[in-house]
Amino acid sequence: MCCIFFHYLRFFWVVLFCSAISILGSVVYAANRVEVQVTPKSALLKKNIEAYIANLSQGDVKTLQAAKRVVQQQAEKASQALGYYQTQIVVRISEGDEPVLYVEVERGEPVRLRTVNIQVNGEAADLPAFAVPDDKRLKVGARLDHSAYDDVKSMLQNQALRFGFFAADFTKSELLIDPQIGAADIHLVFESGPRYRLGEVRFSEHAKIDPDVLERLLPFTPGTPYNSALVAKLSQNLQSTGYFEQVRVDAVGSADGPIEIPVEVSLEAIKPRTVSVGLGFSTDVGPRGRLGWERHRVNSSGHKLGFDSEISKPRQNVSTWYQIPLAAPLTDYLRFSSGYQREELVDAESRLINLGVQWHARLPSEWLRVVSLRWEQEDYDFGRNGKSGRSSFLMPGVGFSVLRSDSPLDPSQGYRLQWDVRGAKQDFVADADVLHVTALARGLLTFADKHRVLGRAQVGAIGTNSYDKVPPSLRFFAGGDQSVRGYDYQTLSPRDDQGNREGGRYMFAGSLEYQYSIAERWRIATFVDQGNAFNSLGDKMNTGAGFGVRWVSPVGPLRLDLAHAFDEDKGWRIHFSMGPEL
């Protein structure tokens, strides 16, 4: 029985393969049996005629002879669509076993636009966003292109639907052509009528989230002039909460009214809990794994609860958190957290437990502000013969960040700015006075389509009355994929009396990188990095430089670099990492 099954399976694949070859051969054969010749040459006209007659150019001599008249008519239509009304077309068929269909075209002079009159009347005329399309194909003197005429009509109608002019219509729509003198006139008058408005929003009864929480996600108030982008933004906001499996927003207007369109929102609650697993790799930390658990909906007020963990050779951590939405649930919330982290630095080992609360808020300027209060207790050891210690700090802090770019996955322009300040006061649940400051700036510029320049600068500083009591997690180290390439991860640091890298009071890391696009998702790069972690502002900077390749994968850019450290005689280092460039 098994042998019979495999016999028929093999037969099936042979038949399938032969059929594919036959079909491919037919396509190639058909492609070789039509020849369009345009005089004077015009690649655009040739391509358009080939598209019009594609289905008529197959068959034997008898079939092609019967199709000659239709082929000529279609070739004329294809020519007129591009403004060529004076064409002379001859269709002939060669004799032989493999007949070829020849379409010979004398294109003549095209019809050109003499008058172009496009008007928008009504409320839309006073709306700056409702623009009359600026199309070079519709300039006076341009060759007549029927598709340009159709496109401008479609664009006006689409804009009317986008901005809520549901009673809009053309009161005049004329394309007048005089082939004898080679002139054409366009007259379009578009009456927009009144602009409709967004009305009351009604949520389905199965949302399992309090209506007052959902209403805080509305990007508009009832009575706002209609804009399809606002309807889409509402759907996006609801989906981004993580509360719902499916979101459907209906706000459809019609010419018959009503002028205030009700907004119906259908919501299907997501399963209350999800588990996420992730794997990654970088030359800084090697292979790493992530495990997360989240309860999306603790109660009808939209509270969330979660657990996160990460494991790699140098670092392992676990944490839990509880989140409470505030006025703007997507960006404003309180998060309470606790966790444990163990980390192996180059010459030190750290074990850290923490408790904290963060207040996240999006400011009107689009900056994200995070106000925090965090208690940390850290046990650490520096090398075999180094010192050990324990430190405790209660540190209030504030941070600001902003990201502006033209794409979240692979931007061509943009920048990121970020700075954080934390502090602690001795004897107020802290072992020393500490002021901890960090700042980051990244920028990306693309020019001449294929050329990209990236810049990065990171700085950090610690002010304290007792540096010996500052634990490794608050000190600065440099070197690695995201710092100074050419040097191993966190190897740039001051050393203690035993030769252990103990971290510095200050840190600087800068980079300048040039990329050139060699294919749609591939780029080559060259770069120079400079930086160090140090205790004196007069200490020298370490420099690394090299080259690499970038691949924009569906989940983000992957980077492979080969870098040389100019201040160490250790040859070249490979760096592999992934993640956004801003």
Across 120-154, b (16+ Cβ under 10 Å) vs e yields: bebbbeebeebebeebebbeeebbbbeebbeebbe
Residues 6+ apart with CB under 8 A from 345: 314, 472, 477, 490, 501, 503
- For residues 3 and 371, the model is more confident at 371
Cis peptide preceding 40, ω within 30 of 0: yes
Across 177-206, b (16+ Cβ under 10 Å) vs e yields: beeeebebebebebbbbebbbbbebebeee
Residues 6+ apart with CB under 8 A from 349: 342, 343, 380, 381
HEC profile of 418-477: EEEEEEECCCCCECCCEEEEEEEEEEEEEECCCEEEEEEEEEEEEEECCHHHCCHHHCEC
Q: Where are the domains of the chain?
A: 1-27, 32-106, 112-191, 197-269, 273-578
Element (H, E) at 506: strand 506-517
Axis crossing angle, helix 146-163 with helix 68-81, rounded to the nearest 10: 60
Per-residue confidence at 48, pLDDT binned at 50, 70, 90? Answer: very high
In the prediction, which pLDDT does 386 show? 66
In the prediction, which pLDDT does 20 show? 40
The domain defined by 197-269 folds into: Ubiquitin-like (UB roll) (3.10.20)
| Cα separation of the two ends of the chain | 61
CA distance 306 to 355: 15
Mean predicted confidence (pLDDT) in 262-284: 91
Among the listed residues 457, 360, 460, 361, the one whose alpha carbon sits nearest the alpha carbon of residue 416: 457
Q: Which two tokens stand for residue 566?
A: 């100019």
CA distance 217 to 208: 15
- For residues 82 and 131, the model is more confident at 82
The yes-or-no verdict on residue 31 having pLDDT over 50 is no
Q: Which two tokens stand for residue 518?
A: 């060699």
* CATH class of the domain at 273-578: mainly beta
DSSP β-bridge partners for residue 539: none
Other beta carbons within 10 Å of 213: 16
In the prediction, which pLDDT does 384 show? 63
Radius of gyration of the chain (CA): 34
- For residues 127 and 15, the model is more confident at 127
The yes-or-no verdict on residue 506 having pLDDT over 70 is yes
Mean predicted confidence (pLDDT) in 353-373: 96
Per-residue confidence at 385, pLDDT binned at 50, 70, 90? Answer: low
- For residues 349 and 4, the model is more confident at 349
The yes-or-no verdict on residue 500 having pLDDT over 80 is yes
CB 374 within 8 A of CB 395: yes
In percent, the amount of the chain with pLDDT more than 90 equals 72
Mean predicted confidence (pLDDT) in 56-79: 82
The yes-or-no verdict on residue 135 having pLDDT over 50 is yes
> Is residue 245 exposed (0-12), middle (13-18) or buried (19+ Cβ within 10 Å)?
exposed
- For residues 220 and 29, the model is more confident at 220
Other beta carbons within 10 Å of 551: 14
Mean predicted confidence (pLDDT) in 455-479: 95
Please tell me if the domain spanning 197-269 has the same topology as the one spanning 273-578: no
* CATH class of the domain at 32-106: alpha beta
The yes-or-no verdict on residue 90 having pLDDT over 80 is yes
Q: Is the dihedral of CA 368, 408, 323, 396 positive or negative?
A: negative
Per-residue confidence at 57, pLDDT binned at 50, 70, 90? Answer: low
Tell me the pLDDT of the chain averaged across its residues: 89
pTM beyond 0.85: no
pLDDT digits (tens, 9 = 90+) for 187-244: 999 999 999 999 999 998 777 899 999 999 999 999 999 999 999 999 999 999 999 9
Residues 6+ apart with CB under 8 A from 6: none
The yes-or-no verdict on residue 502 having pLDDT over 70 is yes
Per-residue confidence at 58, pLDDT binned at 50, 70, 90? Answer: low
Mean predicted confidence (pLDDT) in 73-91: 93
CATH number of 112-191: 3.10.20.310
Residues 6+ apart with CB under 8 A from 488: 346, 479, 480, 573
In the prediction, which pLDDT does 548 show? 96
The yes-or-no verdict on residue 257 having pLDDT over 70 is yes
Lowest-pLDDT range, 242-251, 379-388, 439-448?
Answer: 379-388
